[in-house]
Each structure stands twice: as structure tokens, then as C-alpha cells.
Structure 1
Amino acid sequence: MASAVQVGRRITAEVTAVDLHQRRAWLSMAAAENPELWAFLMSLRAGELLSGRVARIEPFGVFVALDDGPAHPVYPGVGFITIPELSWQRFEAATDVVQVGQQISCTFLAADTTNGEARLSLRATQPDPFQAFADATAVGERIRGRVTQLVPFGAFVRVADGIEGLVHLRDLAPVPVESPEEIVRVGDEITVVALAVDRSRRRLSLSRRHALRPP
């Protein structure tokens, strides 16, 4: 495959970033070749709400044709949502959340100057259920939950709608075990104790071992 540029070739490009410390400048030929697209991306501000139509769904994300944005020269839409930004809830496939042709509103996160895309978040338009759970849950509190997944290092337990926590292998039973299958199965309802609630990383640590102790 021939290279896009060759040594000695004159090009037209736009400066996209400058690193004074390393004395480097990043250029974009795409920006110079698609001034309308570039101007649109540079006009967006983080947190801005954008609307559009789901143009294509891929295993790595969702392309969105923005209502007020230009067409993309390569992709089916200027907007793009990565899989984690689709929903706060756990899901198996992107089609569990959106469908091609669906009209949606998303929050603008940042401009991807490499691909000429507006990176979007659908989940940012919805309340984060983890933060509400953290407000209502104290460390040491006993909670009922259902085992949703077994992994070599423990078990994941759903304790509320959209909220799952990890019971580490060492916290599954009063005595050491080699695998979670020795203690629980997917679908089991168990009582656990909240060991730690990490708001910033949205992580919940649970213990079944502590829950077996008398209150």
C-alpha cells in the first residue's frame, strides 16, 4: 500500500496541538482538506448537548449523524459513541441500547482530531445510578443481592438496578477457597456487606464473609 505522503512532498496542514516542552507540533492534513468539518469540531464545547440519528452500529462503537453537523468524508457520521459511553447499565451488545435510525441526544466530550469525529456520551445525559447508590449506602451496611458473574478472583453481585459489586475470593467464605464455584452460583441470592464505595472509579467492594458474622 502506497504511503499517504512521501519525504520531500509539500503538503497543506493545520496545526492541531503544540507541545512547548518537547518542542513538537501536531499537524492535521484532514483538517486542511475538510475545513467545514474542522470548523464544526472546533466550535463545540465539552458538555454541550447534541442531537442526531444513529447511522451505524459497530462492535467498537456507534456512529451518529448529527443534525447540525456536516457529513464526514469517510465515516457514516461525524458523531461517535464508544461502547462504555452508551449506558450506565451493563449490556451485552450496543443494539440493546440503541438502534440504527433512532434519534438520540448526547453530550459532547471532546473532538477526536485524528479521525475528525465528535466523541459523544449517551450515558452522560442520564443520572449515574452509582452516585445515588453511594449516597444511600454506608460502609458496613448489609445488602441483599444476586450473583451475576463468576470470575477466577471472585463473584460479581447485583445489589441494585444497574449496580454491581465484587466479592473478592477471600471474602466469599470464612475459610479459604480456590474458586467461587465452591461457594456460590450465578443466580444465587446472598447477603453481603459493603466494604468500600469508590465514587470516582464507580467501584463497589463487597464481602459475604463479613455478612456471616452476627450483626
Structure 2
Amino acid sequence: MGGRSENPELWTFLESLHCGELLSGTVTAIERFGVFVALDEGPDHPVFPGVGFITVPELSWRFEAASDVVQVGQRVSCEFLQFDTWNLEARLSLRATRPDPFQAFADGIAVGQKLHGQVTKLVPFGVFVQVAEGIEGLVHLQELTWTPVQTPSEVVQAGDEVTVVVTEIDRERRRLALSRRQASSEHQ
């Protein structure tokens, strides 16, 4: 990539941006590794279809594919993360401008509270239970039943409706720990 001397206009623009600043633009291309954005205020980029770039994890909180979140030609407003001097790009986040559903959910629940949910996935160390739209928690193997089991499938299957108790809310890592055992009264 050319440096400051070859692309003075682009370099000057990128250096003028501040972390956390909101920038508007138009989605120009969707690639496997992220999304290119032509910023309204920005000059043209000599190589890429836009001087702004959103890496896949920065698109949204929960999604399957980039095209589920944005379309080419769509107007977006993103938060500026950093000046990528290697690619001469403005690294952007669309996710940062959207409310995190986990934090909103965490605001409304407390440890010890009972929730109803559906088993979404069985893993060797437990099961994942969806307790709200886009919110899943983990029930560890030892928290599934009062009687020890070797595998989750001895007790539940994906799709089962279960009642669980919230045992931990980790806002930083956006994790929810649940117990099915504590929600049943067989050993109270």
C-alpha cells in the first residue's frame, strides 16, 4: 500500500478521525472477511471499494452471515475504531452503534430467578438453553440433575422446554450460567 506521500488526501482524512466518532457511508462490497464502506466525507481509496472497513465480528451482536446484517448500497452509520495504516482504511464498527441485547436482558433478571427456555444444543459439558430472543445460557452437566449423568442426552434433548435458575450473570463476557437442578424441587 502507498504511504503518506502517495495518498496524502486519504492519509490526512484518516488521521483526522477520532476513536468513537460516528461516520456515515454506503456499503460498497460484502466479502468473506468483512464489509467495505464508502464514507461520505472520505476520499476514494486507490485499491478498495471504500475507505471504511467493518470486520465480520463488528457487524452485529448475533447473526449468521454478513448479508443478514447489511446489503450493498445500504446507508450505514458506524463508530470509528482505528486507522489501519497498513491498508489505509478506517476500521469501523456497526455493532457498537446497536444496543447489546445481552446487557438489556441482564438488566431485567437476577441470580436465583427462574426462567423458562428451550434446549438449543447439547455439548459434552452441558446444554445451551435459549431463555430469550438471541439469549442463551449454559447449564453445566452437574447442574442438569441431582443424579450424576455421563452425557446430557440421558436427561434432555434439543428442543426440550426446561425450567432453569440463573446462577451467574457475567456481563463482561456476555455469559449466563443456569441450573436445571436448582429449579427442581426433588431435593429441597
Taking structure 1 as the reference length, the TM-score comes to 0.79
Alpha-carbon spacing, 1:184–1:78, altered in 2? closer, same or farther (3 Å): farther
The partner residue of 1:60 within 33, 36, 40 is: 33
CA distance in 2, matches of 1:177, 1:59: 41
What is the alpha-carbon root mean square deviation over aligned residues? 1.9
Gaps of 5+ in 2: none
Paired residue total: 187
Greater shift, 198-207 or 153-162, is seen at 153-162
Confirm or deny that 1:94 pairs with 2:66: yes
Could you tell me which residue of structure 1 aligns to residue 135 of structure 2?
Answer: 163
| Greater shift in the superposed pair: 102-111 or 178-187 | 178-187
5+ residue gaps, structure 1:
1-27
Q: Structure 1 residues 152-161 or 101-110, which shifts more? A: 152-161
Cα deviation 1:136-170 (Å, max 9, x = unaligned): 11111111112222323222222122222122222
2:110 is the alignment partner of 1:142: no
The structure number with the bigger radius of gyration is: 1
What percent of counterpart residues are identical? Answer: 68
Residue 82 (structure 1) shift? 1.7
4+ residue runs of structure 1 moved beyond 3 angstroms? none
Secondary structure of 1:174's match?
coil
Q: With the length of structure 2 as denominator, give the TM-score of the two structures.
A: 0.89
Within 2, Cα distance between the matches of 1:152 and 1:75? 44
Pairing 1:94-113 to 2, within 5 Å after superposition: 94-113=66-85
Specify which structure has the bigger relative contact order, considering alpha-carbon pairs within 8 angstroms and separated by 6 or more residues: 2
Distance, in Å, in 2 between the alignment partners of 1:32 and 1:126 is 37
Q: Secondary structure at the match of 1:32?
A: coil
What secondary structure is seen at the aligned counterpart in 2 of 1:36?
A: helix
> Is the alpha carbon distance of 1:185 and 1:63 closer, same or farther for their aligned partners in structure 2, counting shifts above 3 Å?
farther
- SS of alignment partner, residue 46 of structure 2: coil
Quote the residue 2:87 is aligned against.
115
Question: Is 1:187 the counterpart of 2:159 in the alignment?
Answer: yes
Of 91-100 and 150-159, the range deviating more from structure 2 = 150-159
CA distance in 2, matches of 1:199, 1:83: 22
How far off its partner does 1:53 sit?
A: 1.2
Deviation for aligned residue 1:29: 5.4
In the TM superposition, what are the counterparts of 1:8-157 in structure 2 within 5 Å? 30-88=3-61, 90-157=62-129
**Match of 2:150, SS?**
coil
Shift of 1:52: 1.1
SS at match of 1:118: strand
Cα distance change, pair 43–187 in 1 and its aligned pair in 2 (3 A): same
AA matched with 2:89? E
